[in-house]
Structure 1
Amino acid sequence: MRTQSRRRPPRATLAAVAAGTLLAPLLSGCWVGAGGAGSGGDSINVLMVNNPQMVELQKLTKAHFTKETGIKVNFTVLPENDVRDKISQDFANQAGQYDVATLSNYEIPIYARNGWLHPMDAYVAQDRAFDQQDVLEPMRQSLTADDGKLYGEPFYGESSFLMYRKDVFAAKGLTMPAHPTWQQVADLAAKADGARPGMKGICLRGLPGWGELMAPLTTVVNTFGGTWFDKDWKARLDSPEFEKATKFYVDLVREHGESGASQSGFAECLNNMTQGKVAMWYDATSAAGSLEAKGSPVKGKVGYAPAPVERTKSSGWLYTWAWGIQQSSRNPDKAWKFVSWASGKGYEQLVGDTSGWSNVPAGKRASTYDNPAYRAEAAAFEATTRDAIEGARPNDPGVQPRPAPGIQFVGIPEFTDLGTKVSQEISAAVAGRQSVESALNKSQKLAEKISKEYEGR
């Protein structure tokens, strides 16, 4: 480790570092819409991820937003990895091809720091109908940059919680505690393992990726008392707490988890839970809508409990797909009108009326959880979801001070690369190809390189 501190690099250097870290070769993807058309006049270009809520938005835009405002929206819709790459290229270069893009609470503070985003405070102040105070505080906070300005509006938000089969638990005489600890969850997984033919006790992500395996695992590390970096940027992946949490996670999924765990991410665990192959699943609160959807084999059979803890009061993560306006947009005013519509109360009502309240992009507004129609349709999980989001502590998720915000990630540009490389090592431990100790020894060396860059800032 280097003991000499380094002065904070100038803003231009930070921008170059962020661009160099976030940019990657554009993966081949599915193009939808007319993203290549130039914005200007009465049209804007929107680049967004291809999840179901966004696809629904695309379908509704012309008949409602464009009809009401006269603003044509040219959509480019891509898979998550592809859209992140394309957004980072366009925004880092300030090419201005896209006026609006879907960004998460991980990217928005970084992009804002580098001058790539248009602040929204003035629009919010003038747009009284939007009702910014109705947006849940953790979401507002996570989309506000170091300069105190707002740079994003959430389309939907999520935290994490524990999902379990109520009918299986009842048949086995098992009881889920109101606020479970991870040790209690491990005990329940052992007892539920084999409760039905082919059923495993729990599903946990093991698929490599900073947003796959590392998301749930980092929440476990936090509540076990660990951290990626201490307040002085010293890497702590070799600490007893980080090792204990990781060994617990790996042992649990190896002993009582789904088959093929090292290749299981959110989608695979969702399928396992829906198809009755697992009795429990710890993951995103947004999964509940699929489990409770019309036609789901497990609709009405799933219970929802807070994210398990050990040394902290809560441990659920905080995530949002949000809208960001590019600083070089030629149409920022029209871009805001789109953002205001897509993240507003009226859009939620529109989706509720046309597609059903279970399809509403929730997790962002207090009024959603006060809406009788939404509460009736999402009764199984809405209260637990709201509690998880409001209880999230992105600036203080563990037992010690942190040098950067983030619960399931570290809010620095380098984390995309670091988190992915570390996840590959830990996934290899899940697969049984190496020990947790070996995985973390390699991971610590990777993290120490980041420490050297940030010491003294």
Structure 2
Amino acid sequence: MRKILYALSSSVIGFGLAAGLAQAEQLTIATVNNGDMIIMQKLSPEWEKETGNKLNWVVLEENVLRQKVTTDIATKGGQYDILTIGGYETPIWGKLGWLRPLDDLGADYDYGDLLAPIKSGLTVDGKLYAVPFYTESSFTLYRKDLFDAAGIKMPDQPTYDQIKEFAAKLTDKSKQQYGICLRGKPGWGENMAFLGTMINTYGGRWFDMNWKPQINSAPWKKAITDYVDLMKNYGPPGATANGFNENQALFSTGHCAMWIDATSAAGRVYDPKQSQVADKTAFARAPVAVTPSGSSWSWSWNLAIPTSSKKTDAAKSFIKWATSKQYVKLVGEKEGWVAVPPGTRKSTYDLAEYQKEAPFAATVLKAILSADPSKPTKDPVPYTGVQFVAIPEFQGIGTIVGQQIAAALAGQQSVDAVLDTAQKQVEREMKKAGYPK
């Protein structure tokens, strides 16, 4: 009898230990190599300590991340438990059933605190398929010391003609000082994110109401010609290799008089630990040309769980932690208030510490809330999305066009030639996909 009791008690203890071990999970998280995500990785041991779980980080350059994550989720590869995905992918993948709903993170998560337009963009048929880690629009960062020295003044919202004038006056290549830095690295989320807004405000659009591509239209040619001229005359060398991170490094080390890019850059450029020009930087709204429609983008980086993950509960625990009010305060206390993830929670903008340390906060919030994906262009269009077209095919066609424009920027072909080629390529892709539907 004693032997039986001992055997039973041993098996119970063994089961208890096994259950305890089973509760600790190792999660694989795929994310982009942007500053906010690097901070998330740095602070994640706090969550690991609280839960006993471990994170395996796969940190990738933006274009590579998109390619790997898209391939894995489409093939149900199950390589990742947590994905960093954009506001473009979330509704498409949610509708396809590739993502777990995230409506059940608990009452203490305070869903009502999430900015309404961002939350809405991540929701399909009443279900939330990702939660925002940080959100951005676009604006113009500039060196106020260089503007003052040149006797010129940046308006609250410059025109692209003014941007050209300023860039010409502020370029001094002998000092490696460039009038403007803009994205040149090809990709639908790299050069085309910026160029999408430039094309919009020049009066262009991706498609007419019958889904006919408009890439070799007059507004596109004017916008891309001005972009190439700006970059060739007043931009840094090798611009086709420069995306968001590369331009941030150039601006932060004093090589750019102006930089039109994501509002999320503000926290890093204003952080003296990361930027040599933190006390010399000012900001204005994104430039306009013939229309204000679609002149600044609307984008969110979000955390999501693929349906192929077998570790949903642990993944939800991390996502809840990393997008909570408490995480915002943790970043502020550990990394500085300028470094907190922007554009996700209303409560962030109510924090006195954030208001004090982040002079850009109100401007960024206004830009995020004013971007209207439902009316991105001067002329009517059959799609939503400011710097992207919210259809599954855009990931491919946006990159095709981005590669063509990079060829023009590199001087390999004329603007007219690359846009004519891109027009034919996109017409072919859209026909293959069955448009108009």
In 1: Cα distance, 2:410 partner to 2:76 partner: 42
C-alpha displacement of 1:40: 6.6
- Conserved? CA contact 2:294–2:377, under 8 Å: no
**Aligned match of 2:88:** 106
Alignment of 1:375 onto 2:358: no
Q: TM-score, structure 2 length as denominator?
A: 0.88
In 2: Cα distance, 1:205 partner to 1:249 partner: 10
1:192-271 matches, cutoff 5 A: 192-194=170-172, 197-271=175-249
Comparing 197-206 and 210-219, the one that deviates more: 197-206
C-alpha displacement of 1:97: 4.6
SS across alignment from 2:56 = strand
C-alpha displacement of 1:230: 2.0
Alignment of 1:150 onto 2:105: no
SS across alignment from 1:76 = strand
**Aligned match of 1:74:** 55
Gaps of 5+ in 2: 1-20
Alignment of 1:343 onto 2:323: yes
In 2: Cα distance, 1:159 partner to 1:247 partner: 24
After superposition, the C-alpha distances for 1:377-413 in whole angstroms (9 at most, x for unaligned) are 212x222211211111122211233333322222223
- Conserved? CA contact 2:294–2:375, under 8 Å: no
C-alpha displacement of 1:74: 2.8
In 1: Cα distance, 2:22 partner to 2:132 partner: 24
**Aligned match of 2:101:** 119
C-alpha displacement of 1:415: 2.2
C-alpha displacement of 1:44: 5.5
Alignment of 1:414 onto 2:393: yes
- Conserved? CA contact 2:48–2:54, under 8 Å: yes
Gaps of 5+ in 1: 1-38
**Aligned match of 1:279:** 257
- When residues 169 and 410 of structure 1 are mapped into structure 2, their CA distance, relative to the original with a 3 A threshold, is same
SS across alignment from 1:287 = helix
- Conserved? CA contact 1:119–1:151, under 8 Å: yes
After superposition, the C-alpha distances for 1:227-284 in whole angstroms (9 at most, x for unaligned) are 1112321111021112221112112222222222233322332232223222111111
**Aligned match of 2:113:** 134
- Conserved? CA contact 1:314–1:391, under 8 Å: no
C-alpha displacement of 1:67: 4.2
- Conserved? CA contact 2:81–2:315, under 8 Å: yes
- Conserved? CA contact 2:167–2:257, under 8 Å: yes
- Conserved? CA contact 1:203–1:269, under 8 Å: yes
In 2: Cα distance, 1:67 partner to 1:427 partner: 46
**Aligned match of 1:60:** 43
- When residues 114 and 438 of structure 1 are mapped into structure 2, their CA distance, relative to the original with a 3 A threshold, is same
- Conserved? CA contact 2:143–2:280, under 8 Å: yes
- Conserved? CA contact 1:158–1:318, under 8 Å: yes
C-alpha displacement of 1:54: 2.6
C-alpha displacement of 1:195: 9.6
**Aligned match of 1:18:** none
Q: TM-score, structure 1 length as denominator?
A: 0.84
- Conserved? CA contact 1:163–1:305, under 8 Å: yes
C-alpha displacement of 1:166: 0.4
C-alpha displacement of 1:211: 1.9
- When residues 454 and 374 of structure 1 are mapped into structure 2, their CA distance, relative to the original with a 3 A threshold, is farther
In 2: Cα distance, 1:138 partner to 1:383 partner: 17
Runs (4+) of structure 1 exceeding 6 A deviation are none
In 2: Cα distance, 1:206 partner to 1:56 partner: 26
Residue type at the aligned position of 1:281: W
Say what the alpha-carbon RMSD is for the aligned residues. Answer: 2.2
After superposition, the C-alpha distances for 1:182-224 in whole angstroms (9 at most, x for unaligned) are 1221222222223984422111122222222111111000111
Residue type at the aligned position of 2:178: K
- When residues 241 and 76 of structure 1 are mapped into structure 2, their CA distance, relative to the original with a 3 A threshold, is same
**Aligned match of 1:90:** 72
Residue type at the aligned position of 1:400: D
Number of corresponding residues: 412
- When residues 427 and 93 of structure 1 are mapped into structure 2, their CA distance, relative to the original with a 3 A threshold, is closer
Alignment of 1:431 onto 2:414: no
In 2: Cα distance, 1:198 partner to 1:100 partner: 41
In 1: Cα distance, 2:157 partner to 2:165 partner: 14
2:295 to 304, 308, 315: 315
- Conserved? CA contact 2:180–2:231, under 8 Å: yes
After superposition, the C-alpha distances for 1:296-348 in whole angstroms (9 at most, x for unaligned) are 22111111111111212562112222111222443434432322211110111
1:352-363 matches, cutoff 5 A: 352-363=332-343
SS across alignment from 1:156 = strand
After superposition, the C-alpha distances for 1:55-84 in whole angstroms (9 at most, x for unaligned) are 332343343x3444x351432323134433
**Aligned match of 1:397:** 376
